[in-house]
Each structure stands twice: as C-alpha cells, then as structure tokens.
Amino acid sequence: MVHSVELTLDAGADAAVRDVWQALAVAGAPSQAAHRSPSNRPHVTVTVSARMSAAVHDDLAPLLGSLPLPCRLGAPIIFGRGPYTLALLVIPSAGLLDLHAQVNRICLPHMESGPLRHAQSGQWTPHVTLARRLGADLLERALAVAGTGTDIEGSFTGLRHWDGDARQEHPIVLPG
C-alpha cells in the first residue's frame, strides 16, 4: 500500500462532491459513494510514497497556518487507459502549488523512496476522485453526471496523513 498526505475540503464543498458521488451511483457508475469507511471523504492527494514516517505529522503541522486555502473544482477529467478513474480537476492556484511544494519538501526526509513520480512538482495533477474502475461503457453516462458545467467553490480546511498499510487516517493537528 501507499502513504499519502491529503487536503480535505470544507463542509460545503465536501457535501457537493458527495452529491456527485451519489448521482454517479444512481446512474449506475462505481462511484466513491460505495465506500462506507468513515475515512472515505473527498480529498486531494498532495504527495504519495511507498512509506512515510509518522514523524512527518509534527513537521507538517506548521502548514495548518496556510489553511483555509480557497479552492475551485472544475471540469471532469479521466485517468487511465481502462478501466478509468473519473475525477474533478482542482484548478491550481499559486497558493495550492506553493503548498504542494512545501508538503513535498517537508515529507521527503520521512519517505523511504521519495514521492511517486506523479506527485512531484511539474508532474502533479490536483484532483478529487469521483469514480474508480469505470468501464468504457459507462464513460458517457458518468461524464454527463459529473460535467454539469458548474464549478464547486470552497476551501481546503484540513490536512491528513493516510497510512495505506494500516488503512488509517491521521489528521494533522497543531502540537499541544
């Protein structure tokens, strides 16, 4: 499994993404709505690695001063060559790109093998996942649901470390 550092959304943006998840499920797409774990929530993966030390939590805590950070979720995008992942593009602001660079710099000493290539600066596509393992037969229907033409505006309000080995989330909090 992998470890990642993720940004979470404010309540309004979170609810709007969950509404899209539900609409996809109603349309018959394998949306994130099917995952009932309490840790399953709309998020943006900022960096990811094969392993990451829990000591990263204290080092990331000062970045909480950068939050909330405004965000806008825009057009749907598709990853893969089939089955596909459907997501909403996070329109990258200067503040988001700066936070991304800071997270990677802080996390690097805590990663055994460094960040995976797609999480590195210049390679990263910020997005919020809507559906995974989507067959080509469902793409048109799923895009009709996700591509309403209305952006979701909100803010990033939280930062967490996802430990994929233990399948646990660790919210980043200020020490004390």
Yes or no: say if 105 and 119 are a contact pair by the CB < 8 Å rule: no
Token couple for 131: 């559906």
How confident is the model at residue 112, as a pLDDT? Answer: 86
Task: Give the mean model confidence (pLDDT) for residues 75-81.
Answer: 95
How confident is the model at residue 76, as a pLDDT? Answer: 97
Q: Report all structural domains of the chain as residue ranges with CATH numbers, in order of start.
A: 3-167 (3.90.1140.10)
pLDDT exceeds 70 at position 11: yes
Q: Helices 11-26 and 136-146: crossing angle, nearest 10°?
A: 140
pLDDT band at 39 (very low <50, low <70, confident <90, very high): confident
Yes or no: say if 19 and 166 are a contact pair by the CB < 8 Å rule: no
How confident is the model at residue 1, as a pLDDT? Answer: 80
| Beta bridge partners of residue 45, listed in sequence order | 6
pTM here is: 0.94
Mean pLDDT of the chain: 94
pLDDT exceeds 70 at position 155: yes
Yes or no: say if 165 and 1 are a contact pair by the CB < 8 Å rule: yes
Of 52-61, 68-77, 91-100, 114-123, least confident by mean pLDDT is: 114-123
Please state the three-class secondary structure of 16-38 as a single string: HHHHHHHHHHHCCCCEHHHCCCC
Please provide residue 168's backbone torsions phi and psi, each rounded to the nearest 5 degrees.
-130, 145
Q: Can you tell me which residue has the tokens 């952006």?
A: 151
Contacts of 93 (CB under 8 A, 6+ apart): 69, 70, 71, 72
pLDDT exceeds 70 at position 176: no
pLDDT digits (tens, 9 = 90+) for 63-76: 999 999 999 999 99
